[in-house]
Amino acid sequence: MTRDTTDGEGSTADQGEDSTTRRGEELTTDDTVDEPEPDAVPDVEAIKPAAPEAFGLLQAWWGDGKGKTTASLGMGLRAAGHGYRVHVLQFMKGGTPSVEGVRGEFNAIAHVPGYTIENTGHVGWHGFMDDTEDDEHAARARAALERAREIVEATAESDLTTPFDPDDDPDDGVHMLILDEVLYAANRDLIDPEDVLGLIAEKPEGLELVLTGGHEYPKYLEGEADLLSHVEKQVHPLEAGHPARKGTEY
């Protein structure tokens, strides 16, 4: 006996076709879809003094891997490219026999408006390829910390919502202050971590403060840092006998 599979709405086959059509309509549309945009090329324009709208955090980069200073200097370059005033204060890097007096980052930064760098480190690297006394390094590190306080205090007295003249001294205020190797100085007991915390407490609300260095976890920054990045070494060319290289390390 053949069963009638039709009803008032049409055959089962017709219903199936309608159902398929409806499913297809859900998956596709007659609306015109815009073609993908070609690869965007970032605009380049003259650097004009400006003030950041969202600065004021504390960032820290630590670990035994290469790249902490490199990352912070790159971020400083990005900020300076927007017209913000950036200053780098290096705590430990006073030079070694394997590094030439002229360093690439100093040369490059000198040509970027509103981006400056200064070094307070003792010649040699504390505890590595260095025969200078600890108290000599400690004196330089404490002086660097005092210099950082001066810049932070000056910045607190300035208006961070307005642009700074790119030719002004950092003592007139900055939008971003990078304290390179300050965490290493604290790890090596050249400065007291409590003094680092004291500096952080003095930071004005709109100042972006960046701390780098150190192989040991800076536990004292827990609850303080808005960004805490660990740079871990997997392989390092020094282990294969490659000394610091011009253009990559200096």
Of the candidates 157, 228, 207, 186, which has an alpha carbon nearest to the alpha carbon of residue 57?
207
Q: pTM value?
A: 0.78
pLDDT tens for 196-227 read: 999 999 999 999 999 999 999 999 999 999 99
3-state secondary structure of 73: helix
C-alpha–C-alpha distance, residues 197 and 149, integer Å = 12
pLDDT in tens, 149-204: 999 999 999 999 999 999 999 999 999 999 999 999 999 999 999 999 999 999 99
Could you tell me which residues are beta bridge partners of residue 7? 10
pLDDT above 70 covers a percentage of the chain that reads: 75
d(CA 19, CA 182): 68
Domains in the chain: boundaries = 58-240
**Which CATH superfamily hosts domain 58-240?**
P-loop containing nucleotide triphosphate hydrolases (3.40.50.300)
Average pLDDT over residues 59-70: 95
